[in-house]
Chains A and B, each alone.
Chain A
Amino acid sequence: MNEQGLIDKLPRERFIEKLPRALPGLLLIVATTVAIRLWVEPWMANAVVFEQKGWLVKVTHLNYILLGIIMGMAYRNVIFGGKLPAVFADGFRLSRLFIKTGIILLGSLYTVQAIVKLGAMAIFLIGGFVILSIVMVLWLGKVFRMERSMTGVMANACSICGVSAAVATAPAVEAKPAHVAYAIATILGFGILTMFISPFLGHALGLNDLQYGAWVGTGILNSGQVLAACLAFNPNVAPGTAVSVGEIWNIMRVISIPFAVFIVTVWYWAGHDNPQRQQKTLTALLVEKFPVFVLGFLGMVLLTSIGAFGDVGIKGGPPASATIKMIRDWMQWIFGIGLVGLGGYIDLKELSQAGGAPFKVGILVGVTKYVLALIVVLVIRDYLIEI
Chain B
Amino acid sequence: MKDASARLLVAVDGSEASAAALACAAAQVRCEGRSLTGVFVVDTGWADYIGNDWQSAAGARQGFLDYVRADQERHAAAARRQFEEATAGLADCRFEVLAGDPAECLVARMADSDAAALVLGRETFAVCGRPSVKRLPQTLAAKLGAALQLV
Please give the residue numbers on chain A whose beta carbons come within 8 Å of chain B beta carbons, in ascending order.
1-4, 6-7, 10, 13, 15, 18, 83-84, 89-90, 93-94, 96-97, 100, 163-164, 167-168, 170-171, 176-178, 180-182, 184-185, 224, 287-289, 291-292, 345, 347, 349-351, 353-354
Contact = CB atoms under 8 A, between A and B. Distances in A.
Given A15-B55, A93-B53, A100-B55, 13 more contacts: A3-B40, A3-B79, A6-B97, A96-B53, A96-B55, A164-B61, A167-B50, A167-B64, A180-B64, A181-B131, A288-B63, A349-B132, A350-B131
Contact of A163 (B50, B63, B134): B50
B42 A6 contact: yes
B131 A171 contact: no
B66 interface: yes
Contacts of A184: 49-50
Q: Which of A176, A288, A350, A354 has the most CB of B within 10 A?
A: A350
A288 B61 CA distance: 10
A169 to B, nearest CB: 9
A85 to B, nearest CB: 13
Contacts of B99: 1, 6, 10
Contacts of A10: 42, 44, 69, 99
Contact of B73 (A7, A90, A171, A176): A7
Complex A-B, nearest 7 residue pairs according to Cβ-Cβ distance, in ascending order: A3-B76, A353-B131, A167-B64, A288-B59, A171-B67, A96-B53, A93-B53
A178 B101 CA distance: 15
Interface in B27-62: 40, 42, 44, 46, 48-51, 53-55, 57, 59-61
Given A96-B51, A164-B61, A353-B135, A178 B42 contact: no
B63 A168 contact: yes
A10 B76 CA distance: 14
B142 to A, nearest CB: 12
A2 B94 CA distance: 12
Contacts of B101: 83
Nearest to B74: A3
B92 interface: no
- Where chain A touches its partner, the secondary structure class is helix
Contacts of B130: 178, 181, 350
B103 to A, nearest CB: 10
A177 B46 CA distance: 10
A168 B64 contact: yes
A3 B80 contact: yes
Interface string B83-108: 00000000000001111010000000
A83 B128 CA distance: 20
A292 B61 CA distance: 12
A4 B73 contact: yes
A351 B106 CA distance: 23
Contacts of B44: 10
A175 to B, nearest CB: 9
B51 A163 contact: yes
Given A7-B70, A177-B71, A353-B132, A289 B60 contact: yes
Contacts of A4: 73, 77
Contacts of A18: 54
Nearest to B134: A353
A345 to B, nearest CB: 6
B144 interface: no
21 contacts: A1-B96, A2-B97, A3-B79, A7-B69, A10-B69, A13-B54, A84-B48, A90-B54, A94-B54, A96-B55, A167-B50, A168-B60, A168-B63, A176-B127, A178-B130, A181-B49, A181-B131, A185-B131, A287-B59, A345-B48, A350-B49
B67 A177 contact: yes
Nearest to A351: B131
A4 B80 CA distance: 11
A46 B54 CA distance: 41
A97 B42 contact: no
Q: Which of B55, B96, B129 has the most CB of A within 10 A?
A: B55
Given A3-B76, A6-B42, A163-B51, A177 B68 contact: yes
B72 interface: yes
A356 to B, nearest CB: 10
B126 interface: yes
A170 B67 contact: yes
B11 to A, nearest CB: 15
B73 A291 contact: no
Nearest to A182: B131
Q: Which of B60, B99, B101 has the most CB of A within 10 A?
A: B60
Nearest to B80: A3
Given A96-B53, A184-B49, A350-B131, A3 B97 contact: yes
Contacts of B129: 178, 181
Nearest to A258: B59
